[in-house]
Amino acid sequence: MAGKGFFSNFKKRNPDSALRTPEPTSLSRATGFYKAQVNRFYDLLLKLQEQFSFQASQVYNADETGVTTVHKNDKVLSVKGKKQVGKLTSAERSRNITTVFAMNAVGHFVPPMFIFPRAKMEKNGRLMVGAPPESIGVAAKSGWMNGELFLQWLQHFQRHVHSSEAHPILLILGGHSSHKELSVIEYARDHHIHMLRTAQHTTHRLQLLDCAFFKPFKQAYGSAGATWMRRNPEA
């Protein structure tokens, strides 16, 4: 078996190598992302592009992500040897709020939709205080997207992109079951929204929001939460 000597010599022969923490990847993702699946997605994309000649402003990516109610703290400087280092957060246990984002390549974004894990929304609108203008909030006991909520989001999306026969929209999304409801498909067809779904377990490579947006967004959200806690310690 390889020992410390082998590893030391390997490092010398390969100075560019380094120990890294791997990103958790499920078996279904690892086996679901393969050439035939990717080729099928791009074949469908090419077919739609040739048929409708979408401009960049007509192509939107949409996806959901979970936003925690307790921000993740940045690293801090501390004395060596200290066993425990603390930093204020709003709570010790968090809950996830499903948030739906959509944007296109020219920088236009649709105000997000927030799905709160509760039976109904508060009448005073307190849950949406400070949300981006024209965002919408809905309640679901599970806190997850379903067909009824996705139809609400699609209607919200259409109000902001103004799709029509003369101005069709290509909407690229994941393969979640809520995107396949009959009412959703009928609404999209009637309003000239052409939905292209990525294959299951491929969004980590084919969904641009997953690849380029969610990580910096959550980092910025964490920094903003830490700044607010620092400026409002009595809260």
Note the pLDDT tens digit of each residue in 31-83. Answer: 667 888 889 999 999 999 999 999 999 999 999 999 988 877 667 778 887 77
Predicted confidence pLDDT, tens digits, the chain (235 residues): 778 888 889 889 998 888 888 777 766 666 667 888 889 999 999 999 999 999 999 999 999 999 988 877 667 778 887 777 766 666 667 789 999 999 998 999 999 999 999 999 988 889 999 899 999 999 999 999 999 999 999 999 999 999 999 999 999 998 888 888 999 999 999 999 999 998 877 887 888 898 899 999 998 988 888 888 888 877 6
Residue 154 CA to residue 92 CA, distance in Å, equals: 35
Query: pLDDT per residue over 82-99, tens digit each?
Result: 777 766 666 667 789 999
CA dist., res. 172 & res. 61, Å (int) = 5
| CB neighbours of residue 27 within 10 Å | 8
- Among residues 189, 176, 180, 207, which one has the least CA distance to residue 60? 207
Q: How far is CA 234 from CA 15, 90, 124, in A?
A: 50, 11, 24
pTM (whole model) above 0.75: yes
Q: Which domains does the chain have, with CATH numbers?
A: 33-69+93-231 (3.30.420.10)
With left for phi above 0 and alpha for psi between -120 and 50, is residue 162 left, alpha or beta? Answer: left
